[in-house]
Structure 1
């Protein structure tokens, strides 16, 4: 879910705002952004709607991460 970090930066969105909008903790959003955990498919849909992006944008692989 490294794409979240990119989308947040592109749209100048803070994790705190996302957590408040989705009713989850900031720690949960932080884990998604840092790849410590992944959101459910339902939550990916909610994130996509909230961030005004297609859900496939959130599922794209970050090629740099694949090489780690």
Structure 2
């Protein structure tokens, strides 16, 4: 079984913000499936999109990614 490596914290940040996949998809004019794939770490947004997402969620972009340091 392939374990998916976590690179982003989008799911957790969305839960804290009260925003939904649908709101993100509508705002960025993308499919909800794309947002779902980001949340499950099956795909990653581009760096530019990550910054745009942070702006939309009103969070520091660093909160959207998993630290590489323990």
Query: TM (normalized to structure 2)?
Result: 0.80
**Deviations 1:9-66 (CA, angstroms, capped at 9, x unpaired):** 11111000000001111000000000110000010011000000011111234xxxxx
RMSD: 1.8
Query: TM (normalized to structure 1)?
Result: 0.83
Structure 2, gaps ≥5 residues long: 1-6
Query: As a proportion of its length, which structure holds more helix?
Result: 1
Question: Paired residues, what number?
Answer: 63
Of structures 1 and 2, the larger Rg is shown by 2
4+ residue segments displaced more than 2 Å: none
Structure 2 residue 12 is matched with structure 1 residue 12: no
